[in-house]
Amino acid sequence: MMGRYFARFDESPTKKVKSGNGYVKEYWGEGSNRARNWQRYDHGGENTNMKFEEGVDSYVPYAGKLSDNLEITLNKIKATMSSCGAASISELQKTARLTLVSSTSIIEGGAHDVILKDKEY
């Protein structure tokens, strides 16, 4: 589930593409037709044509070198662990609880009562 995260960096094999004032990189999910076309899903010679596509073929904002972004990511993970009262990964696995929320809650939990600036990629 980390494909989108890693796809943004120089180290991923996809090309950097100019988009507007910045750059993006190609990204496709494992359930997409593109991933299936790479013949990763051999079913013993059976017809592997997909009946429906589960993943997406898209772009993600370019983020430069992985090494330049790693500290930020680690700090976000540590902050999340702290919010869960966990000092280690094993403690996080024991104490963290997933909570089901509605799509309205997700929208309400985002930025509100402000006008967001457009991101420049």
User: Rounded to whole angstroms, how far apart are CA atoms 117 and 96?
Assistant: 33
Domain that holds residue 71: 66-112
**Which pLDDT tens digit goes with each residue over 26-47?**
887 766 666 666 555 555 555 5
Whether residue 60 is found in the same domain as residue 72:
no
Pairing mode, if any, of strands 57-61 and 22-28? antiparallel
Q: Are 8 and 60 in contact (CB under 8 A)?
A: yes
Does residue 18 carry a pLDDT above 90? yes
> Residue 97: its pLDDT value, please?
86
Whether residue 75 is found in the same domain as residue 19:
no
**pTM for this one?**
0.63
How many distinct structural domains can be found in the chain?
2
**Which pLDDT tens digit goes with each residue over 50-107?**
566 666 678 889 999 999 999 999 999 999 999 989 999 999 999 888 888 888 887 7
First to last CA, the chain: 23
> Residue 85: its pLDDT value, please?
92
